[in-house]
Amino acid sequence: RKEVEQDPGPFNVPEGATVAFNCTYSNSASQSFFWYRQDCRKEPKLLMSVYSSGNEDGRFTAQLNRASQYISLLIRDSKLSDSATYLCVVNPAVSGYALNFGKGTSLLVTP
């Protein structure tokens, strides 16, 4: 079983739609969780850290369910500029410092 699993998509949604991405992780001792965004042929950029109580940043909401080892990202009122690959990232406590990345979920927002 892969350490971090995501639905690869692609998700094609119209502007203004709400879209949700899900991710599961295998190491129950994992400590830190993130969503990164990666545009084509560019570096990953930190979108949000995911806190135990869940957190919101504008149109973006991240949730963590430790019991189910599940992380989600909700994007409301999608913009064309949201088109990118969204990477679910986990920092396993056992490993300490490495970030474990999912393969990413591709989002295309259309006019």
Partner 1 sequence: DAGVTQSPTHLIKTRGQQVTLRCSPKSGHDTVSWYQQALGQGPQFIFQYYEEEERQRGNFPDRFSGHQFPNYSSELNVNALLLGDSALYLCASSFVGSRFNEQFFGPGTRLTVL
**CB neighbour burial string for 43-54, b if at least 16 within 10 angstroms, e if fewer:** ebeebbebeeee
Distance CA 70, CA 44 (A): 21
35 binds partner 1 (CB under 8 A): no
32 binds partner 1 (CB under 8 A): yes
- Find the shortest distance in angstroms from Cβ 6 to partner 1: 9
The region of 19-27, 37-45, 61-69, 73-81 touching partner 1 under the rule CB under 8 A is 37-45
Structure tokens of 10?
Answer: 């692609």
Instruction: Enumerate residues 63-92 that contact partner 1 by CB under 8 A.
Output: 87, 91
